[in-house]
Amino acid sequence: MAFSQEDLAIMETIIKRYPRPRSAIMPLLHFVQSRAGYVTNEGIELIAQQLDLAAAEVTAVSTFYTQYKPTPVGEYHVGVCTNTLCAIMGGDAIMDALKDHLGIENDGVTADGKVSLEHIECNAACDYAPVVMANWEFYDNQSVQSAKDLVDSMRAGNPKPPTRGPNTLVTWKQASEVLAGLNDGRANEGVQAGGPTLLGLKIAKGETK
């Protein structure tokens, strides 16, 4: 795919956020994923050109970070936390069940291109374990069945909404745009906090029991 003139203008504004252009590599890589779906060679070349770097320098950065994908992922990229706490609370069982249910392995993509699967590390939501992420939105307190239902809803083209996130799940490309630092106008959607986040406050206010 080619990047449009408008895309190039957006990339310029990303670079201008920083005192030194090179700092923009990471948001630019997220931006490339928002247009191409993954980090393409064309995207690497373009970033290198815009920042006056060798393509190898951009590639070196891209390959260090696991969120930059060298090959296409699904429209909905599902991450199952299998770090110790989530794994023990059910993450391992969820991961095994999803592999079986989708017929793909870790880092695999379904043939229809809808869902990809990755085991992920701690996602800072341990009080909601076991946690599943989709396009890096929170799906809290999952079970084997709820996780299967979630991926089924994605394949049916009507994904269930995140537990703590926007009213509807955005696509991988749309999420990548947010991670490039662009505002999609959906910050006010969704809850301000989930139950566990508020538990201490409620106890302090005598609002429990």
Nearer to other proteins, 23 or 153 (CB): 23
Nearer to other proteins, 110 or 165 (CB): 165
CA distance 204 to 35: 47
Q: Each residue of 86-106: b (16+ CB within 10 Å) or e?
A: bbebbbebbbebbbeebebee
Smallest distance from other proteins to CB 94, Å: 9
CA distance 4 to 173: 16
CB 134 within 8 A of CB 159: yes
Nearer to other proteins, 33 or 110 (CB): 33
Q: Each residue of 150-180: b (16+ CB within 10 Å) or e?
A: bbeebbeeebbebbbbbeebbbbebbbbbbb
Smallest distance from other proteins to CB 83, Å: 5
Contacts of 121 (CB under 8 A, 6+ apart): 81, 82, 83
Smallest distance from other proteins to CB 209, Å: 9
CA distance 167 to 186: 9
Nearer to other proteins, 110 or 141 (CB): 141
Smallest distance from other proteins to CB 111, Å: 26
Smallest distance from other proteins to CB 52, Å: 12
Nearer to other proteins, 75 or 137 (CB): 137
CA distance 115 to 109: 6
The two structure tokens encoding residue 161: 């909404």
**Distance between alpha carbon 203 and the CA centroid of its chain, in Å?**
33
Smallest distance from other proteins to CB 116, Å: 15
Nearer to other proteins, 5 or 167 (CB): 167
